[in-house]
């Protein structure tokens, strides 16, 4: 496992309850502080550290899933270090680390950063699991083919993912903003679940595949999570997101990420508290 280049505990506060070493873990948390293609409000680079701090105010027991984090073996590998301004090198660093984690038989849990960080993780998984499927929570489809001339952007990332896994293995929930073409695309490919009653459709699509779960936190209503780059009114309450997640329990989740918290836009700290609790439930779901 010598390829893993995670910075480790000496350079970063660790999520409360992290195992002491990577070796004795089943899940590896990795901070991905990149927000370089963000066109509107940057700041998701500060999310991993903010979430770690908030983890010390979180109960390990979840009355939602009735499980306890203390029974999960996860290791917090710290934040990856990126050359700011160089997108392609940044993506290569993420991919290399994700490959090392996947190869070691552990589950990757990325903390974004912006949504583009999902792409190299998915690519790393596809090497091992060519039939990987995607469960995607978001306010935005992120389905543009290019954005301001760029193929690799937070606004194109799920389109790039769909290029690789195929739309038939993509399930999308919560999308409520975008150009008409994106809604047409989702309609054509039937990727979007609009109500929780449609969960069985989604489970059917995902049940025979290893599943990567990617949660863009702006799927929540901005009243619940104001601290994000592109707040979109009209989203889910926290308990609704929990209901959706619980409804997918039992799938073969092999990895996940939680992205687009921008903690500095919410001075009350509530957005970070929400993100931390979402991450706890993701860890318990895996």
Write out the binding residues for its own copies, residues 193-222 only, by CB under 8 A.
221-222
Residue 65 lies near its own copies (rule: CB under 8 A): no
Q: Residue 33: helix, strand or coil by DSSP?
A: coil
Q: Which stretch binds its own copies (CB under 8 A): 45-53, 99-107, 130-138, 197-205?
A: 45-53
Binding residue (CB under 8 A) for its own copies from 2, 24, 180, 195: 180
Residue 176 lies near its own copies (rule: CB under 8 A): yes
Count other Cβ atoms within 10 Å, centred on residue 204. 10
Residue 36 or 202: the one with the smaller Cβ distance to its own copies is: 36
Separation CA 91–CA 81 (nearest Å): 11
Residue 72 lies near its own copies (rule: CB under 8 A): no
3-state secondary structure 104-162: CCCEEEEEECCHHHHHHHHHHHHHHCCCCEEEEECCECCCCCCECCECCCCCCHHHHHH
Residue 227 lies near its own copies (rule: CB under 8 A): yes
User: Are 151 and 160 spatial neighbours (Cβ–Cβ below 8 Å)?
Assistant: yes
Residue 120 lies near its own copies (rule: CB under 8 A): no
Residue 268 lies near its own copies (rule: CB under 8 A): yes
Calculate the CA 259 to chain-centre distance: 5
Q: Which stretch binds its own copies (CB under 8 A): 23-31, 56-64, 105-113, 196-204?
A: 56-64
Q: Which helix (H) or strand (E) segment is 170 a member of?
A: strand 170-173
Residue 85 lies near its own copies (rule: CB under 8 A): yes
Residue 96 lies near its own copies (rule: CB under 8 A): no
Q: Which stretch binds its own copies (CB under 8 A): 6-14, 99-107, 117-125, 198-206?
A: 6-14
Residue 21 lies near its own copies (rule: CB under 8 A): no
Binding residue (CB under 8 A) for its own copies from 223, 246, 249, 252: 223
User: Are 281 and 245 spatial neighbours (Cβ–Cβ below 8 Å)?
Assistant: yes
Q: Which stretch binds its own copies (CB under 8 A): 42-50, 122-130, 205-213, 247-255?
A: 42-50
Strand pairing partners for 256?
109, 213
Residue 266 lies near its own copies (rule: CB under 8 A): yes
Separation CA 280–CA 101 (nearest Å): 20
In eight-state DSSP terms, residue 208 is T
List phi, psi (to 5°) of 123. Answer: -60, -40
Binding residue (CB under 8 A) for its own copies from 3, 20, 131, 168: 20
Residue 41 lies near its own copies (rule: CB under 8 A): yes
Residue 99 or 228: the one with the smaller Cβ distance to its own copies is: 228
Terminal C-alpha separation, the chain: 22
Residue 115 or 169: the one with the smaller Cβ distance to its own copies is: 115
CB of 63 to its own copies, least distance (A): 6
187's CB contacts (< 8 A; 6+ apart) are none
């Amino acid at each position: 496992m010598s390829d893993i280049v995670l910075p480790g505990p000496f350079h970063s506060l660790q999520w409360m309850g992290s195992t002491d070493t990577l070796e004795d873990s089943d899940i590896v948390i990795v901070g991905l502080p990149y927000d370089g293609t963000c066109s509107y409000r940057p700041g998701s680079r500060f999310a991993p550290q903010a979430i770690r701090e908030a983890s010390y105010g979180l109960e390990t027991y979840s009355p939602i899933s009735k499980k306890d984090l203390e029974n999960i073996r996860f290791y917090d590998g710290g934040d990856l270090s990126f050359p700011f301004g160089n997108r392609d090198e940044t993506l290569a660093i993420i991919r290399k680390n994700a490959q090392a984690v996947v190869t070691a038989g552990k589950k990757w849990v990325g903390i974004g950063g912006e949504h583009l960080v999902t792409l190299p993780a998915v690519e790393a998984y596809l090497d091992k699991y060519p039939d990987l499927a995607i469960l995607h929570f978001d306010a935005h489809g992120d389905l543009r083919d290019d954005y301001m001339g760029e193929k690799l952007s937070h606004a194109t990332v799920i389109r790039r993912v769909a290029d690789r896994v195929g739309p038939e293995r993509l399930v999308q929930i919560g999308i409520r903003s975008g150009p008409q073409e994106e809604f047409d695309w989702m309609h054509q490919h039937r990727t979007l679940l609009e109500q929780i009653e449609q969960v069985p459709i989604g489970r059917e699509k995902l049940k025979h595949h290893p599943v990567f779960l990617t949660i863009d936190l702006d799927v929540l209503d901005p009243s619940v999570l104001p601290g994000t780059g592109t707040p979109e009114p009209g989203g889910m309450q926290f308990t609704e997101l929990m209901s959706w997640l619980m409804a997918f329990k039992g799938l073969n989740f092999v990895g996940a990420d939680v992205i687009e918290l921008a903690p500095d836009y919410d001075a009350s700290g509530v957005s970070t508290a929400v993100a931390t609790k979402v991450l706890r439930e993701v860890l318990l779901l895996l």
